[in-house]
């Protein structure tokens, strides 16, 4: 015991402390792991943090030839201009409405699908089904838009069928409410399969013994789903829900742009198409940046709020 103490002189003692707590030593010890991290960090810095500099454009009368350095500062004028435009509010409302519909109808879809898949016993069939379900995710919206037009336009397959059955045709794409339904359904069709991946991963993490125990107790399938599977993926559901709420004000460009048409523009004109029109189309990058900034700020507020509520009700948030 004494000999051991003698060996440890003060300097080495302090080194040991350093070794235990210091970042440099952690770096030395796990340099391979940190090395692996470098690439994603570089990605974030180059593509996510560096472009933040461009936000300055929102406060300038941005001149594409002079760049950020040479453009005139105008304070909040750009924002004032945007907030005075009716078309901006329409785009904002539409974005919220479409996203809300997607949330209400689209969010449960992959969960239900994942549970159904999880219950399939025959592995080959399960794998095949999964593959088929993933496929639509890899189709571009341009192609999907073409398919939707071919199937649901007034001379399309669906209406020919309805007419053949003597039911009369339905204006799937040119009547506003119908269009909304189509928009949501097509979105689910494209994404539900892909969305199951995370839930399935979470389900495989559920302790098998729970199922065995419930079998012995004579639980029915529905009971098992309700009391074991769903609680098992609860946290995943909540995290994905928070993330989706954070994206409430942002919306992809392709889907509303491709599926929309002038007859339903009251619903199909969203923030991304607005930004495209004023930013790229009219070359007014200041406005486009300002709208983008607005979108990010509101998105952040939504995200933080959702996270806060989740924590309050006793769930684990995303941070």
Is residue 232 within the footprint of other proteins (CB under 8 A)? Answer: yes
Is residue 85 within the footprint of other proteins (CB under 8 A)? Answer: yes
CA distance 298 to 91: 14
Kindly identify the residues of this chain, within the stretch 234-263, that bind other proteins according to CB under 8 A: 235-236, 239-240, 243, 261-263
**Alpha-carbon distance values, 257 to 88, 142, 250 (Å):** 16, 9, 14
Asked if 220 and 266 touch (Cβ cutoff 8 Å), the reply is no
How many residues sit close enough to other proteins to count as binding (CB under 8 A)?
43
CA distance 272 to 277: 9
Is residue 186 within the footprint of other proteins (CB under 8 A)? Answer: no
Is residue 177 within the footprint of other proteins (CB under 8 A)? Answer: no
CA distance 252 to 102: 12
Member of 43, 125, 226, 308 binding other proteins (CB under 8 A): 43
**CB-wise, 16 or 227, nearer to other proteins?**
227
Tell me how far, at minimum, the Cβ of 206 lies from other proteins, in Å.
7
Tell me how far, at minimum, the Cβ of 100 lies from other proteins, in Å.
21
CA distance 292 to 286: 10
* CB-CB neighbours of 57 under 10 Å: 24
What torsion, rounded to 10 degrees, do the Cα atoms 127, 130, 135, 141 define? Answer: -170
Is residue 212 within the footprint of other proteins (CB under 8 A)? Answer: no
Q: Which residues lie near other proteins (CB under 8 A)?
A: 40, 43, 47, 63-66, 85-87, 149, 153-155, 173-174, 197-198, 201-202, 205-207, 232, 235-236, 239-240, 243, 261-263, 265, 277-278, 280-285, 316, 318
């Amino acid at each position: 015991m004494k000999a051991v103490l003698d060996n440890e002189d003060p300097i080495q003692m302090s080194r040991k402390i350093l070794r235990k707590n210091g970042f440099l030593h952690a770096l030395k010890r796990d340099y391979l792991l940190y090395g692996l991290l470098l690439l994603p960090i570089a990605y974030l810095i180059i593509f996510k943090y560096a472009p933040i500099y461009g936000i300055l454009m929102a406060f300038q009368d941005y001149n594409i030839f002079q760049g950020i350095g040479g453009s005139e500062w105008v304070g909040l004028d750009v924002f004032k201009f945007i907030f005075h435009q009716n078309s901006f509010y329409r785009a904002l409302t539409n974005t919220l409405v479409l996203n809300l519909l997607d949330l209400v109808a689209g969010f449960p879809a992959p969960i239900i699908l994942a549970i159904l898949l999880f219950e399939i016993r025959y592995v080959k069939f399960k794998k095949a089904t999964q593959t088929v379900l993933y496929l639509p995710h890899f189709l571009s919206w341009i192609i999907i838009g073409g398919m939707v037009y071919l199937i649901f336009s007034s001379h399309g397959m669906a209406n020919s069928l309805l007419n053949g059955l003597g039911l009369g045709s339905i204006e799937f794409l040119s009547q506003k409410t119908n269009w909304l339904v189509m928009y949501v359904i097509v979105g689910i069709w494209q994404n539900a399969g892909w969305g199951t991946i995370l839930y399935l991963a979470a389900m495989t993490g559920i302790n098998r013994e729970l199922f065995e125990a419930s079998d012995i107790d004579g639980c029915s399938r529905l009971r098992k789903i309700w009391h074991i599977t769903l609680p098992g993926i609860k946290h995943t559901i909540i995290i994905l829900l928070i993330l989706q709420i954070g994206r409430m004000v942002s919306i992809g460009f392709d889907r509303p742009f491709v599926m929309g048409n002038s007859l339903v523009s009251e619903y199909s004109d969203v923030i991304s198409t607005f930004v495209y029109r004023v930013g790229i189309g009219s070359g007014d990058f200041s406005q486009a940046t300002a709208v983008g900034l607005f979108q990010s700020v509101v998105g952040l507020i939504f995200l933080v709020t959702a996270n806060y509520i989740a924590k309050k009700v006793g769930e684990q948030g995303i941070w």
